[in-house]
């Protein structure tokens, strides 16, 4: 198995400390802070450890403090309610004695119902597209005076951009990212693991869309950016080791915050999940640099 993916699967395996109390390892993807997707995936894994015969259909979370990648994170689960059809859980992530994150998640028994959705946007086949590193280097070649819109480092995912903003535009009119993604290797046939991996993946490219106006200019290095909250709805089963199209856009930004939303489609056009996030997008140099 790809070593980065093997390490990610290890990170999503939590140690049970006590009833409804779990501990997860941390990793540093860069910038000496924990990736928000890691905390989302681990918190969902902790909640799932208290659930039987139900599947997550939504989660709503707040990032309170930056995580320390040099230390593990403890997850405390509150069993808010178990009804006939739905179960609700609240998860608090604790590090160095302080809350760094909390999440509410809802789980449902499987039920037959109406099945409808909107159309999947058009996109070239992922096999015809360059990987993210190649695409970003091409943007840099076209506009050498502009910074790279994304920091490139190794991922357990294969990213293939289907649409990125024009680097020569003064201000992007549509802050939107359209990108194919899949894990670099196969994973076990475990729907719970698939959901935790999708939660991990969902934190990619939302803040990127919300801050795209500044990311495509030389203002990028003057930005303070951080996820504030995150929501996700799971509509249909999906395998993260098969191609998924993630389309994110940002309809508004104001008050040093940018709002983004995303749709995750399977290759055959099924809308498998929806996401939304608000992030801090602040120019460094203001009177208040704290969060």
Closest CA to 261 of 175, 171, 181: 175
Closest residue by Cα to residue 159 from 167, 168, 151: 151
From the candidates 227, 250, 263, 266, give the one annotated as an active-site residue: 227
HSE value, Cβ hemisphere, 13 Å, CA-based, for 224:
13
Q: Which two tokens stand for residue 181?
A: 């993604």
Strand 98-108 to 55-63 pairing: antiparallel
d(CA 58, CA 276): 11
Residue 264: both structure tokens together: 């995750």
Tokens standing for residue 139: 């943007």
- Between helix 191-201 and helix 3-11 the angle, nearest 10°, is 100
Which listed residue (26, 87, 263, 277) is catalytic? 277
Strand bridging mode 21-24 / 244-254: unpaired
Task: Identify the helix (H) or strand (E) that includes residue 100.
Answer: strand 98-108
What is the rounded CA–CA span in Å between residue 106 and residue 30? 31
Rg of the chain in Å (alpha carbons): 19
Q: Is 227 a catalytic residue?
A: yes
Spatial contact of 259 and 252, defined as CB atoms under 8 Å apart? yes
Question: Is 53 tagged catalytic?
Answer: no
> Could you say which of 38, 203, 213, 250 is catalytic?
203
Q: Taking the CA of residue 164 as centre, how many other CA atoms within 13 Å lie in the half-sphere pointing to its CB?
A: 26
68 is catalytic: no
Active centre residues (catalytic): 203, 227, 277
């Amino acid at each position: 198995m790809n070593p980065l993916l093997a390490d990610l699967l290890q990170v999503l395996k939590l140690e049970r400390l006590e009833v409804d109390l779990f501990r997860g390892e941390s990793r540093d993807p860069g910038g000496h802070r924990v990736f928000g997707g890691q905390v989302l995936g681990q918190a969902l894994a902790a909640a799932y450890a208290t659930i039987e015969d139900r599947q997550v259909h939504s989660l709503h979370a707040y990032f309170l403090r930056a995580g320390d990648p040099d230390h593990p994170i403890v997850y405390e689960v509150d069993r808010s309610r178990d009804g006939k059809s739905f179960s609700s859980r609240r998860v608090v992530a604790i590090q160095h004695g302080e809350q760094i994150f909390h999440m509410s998640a809802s789980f449902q028994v499987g039920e037959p119902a109406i099945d409808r959705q909107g159309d999947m946007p058009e996109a070239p086949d992922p096999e015809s597209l360059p990987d993210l590193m190649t695409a970003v280097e091409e943007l840099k070649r076209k506009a050498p005076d502009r910074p790279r819109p994304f920091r490139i480092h190794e991922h357990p995912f294969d990213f293939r951009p289907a649409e990125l903003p024009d680097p020569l535009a003064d201000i992007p009119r549509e802050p939107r990212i359209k990108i194919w993604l899949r894990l670099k290797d196969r994973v076990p046939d475990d729907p719970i693991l698939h959901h935790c991996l999708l939660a991990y993946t969902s934190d990619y490219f939302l803040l990127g869309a919300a801050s795209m106006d500044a990311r495509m200019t030389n203002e990028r290095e003057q930005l303070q950016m951080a996820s504030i909250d995150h929501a996700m709805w799971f509509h249909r089963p999906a395998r993260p080791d098969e191609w998924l199209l993630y389309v994110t856009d940002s309809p508004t930004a104001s008050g040093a915050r940018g709002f983004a939303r995303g749709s995750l489609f399977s290759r055959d056009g099924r809308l498998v999940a929806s996401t939304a996030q608000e992030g801090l997008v602040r120019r460094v140099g203001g009177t208040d640099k704290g969060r």
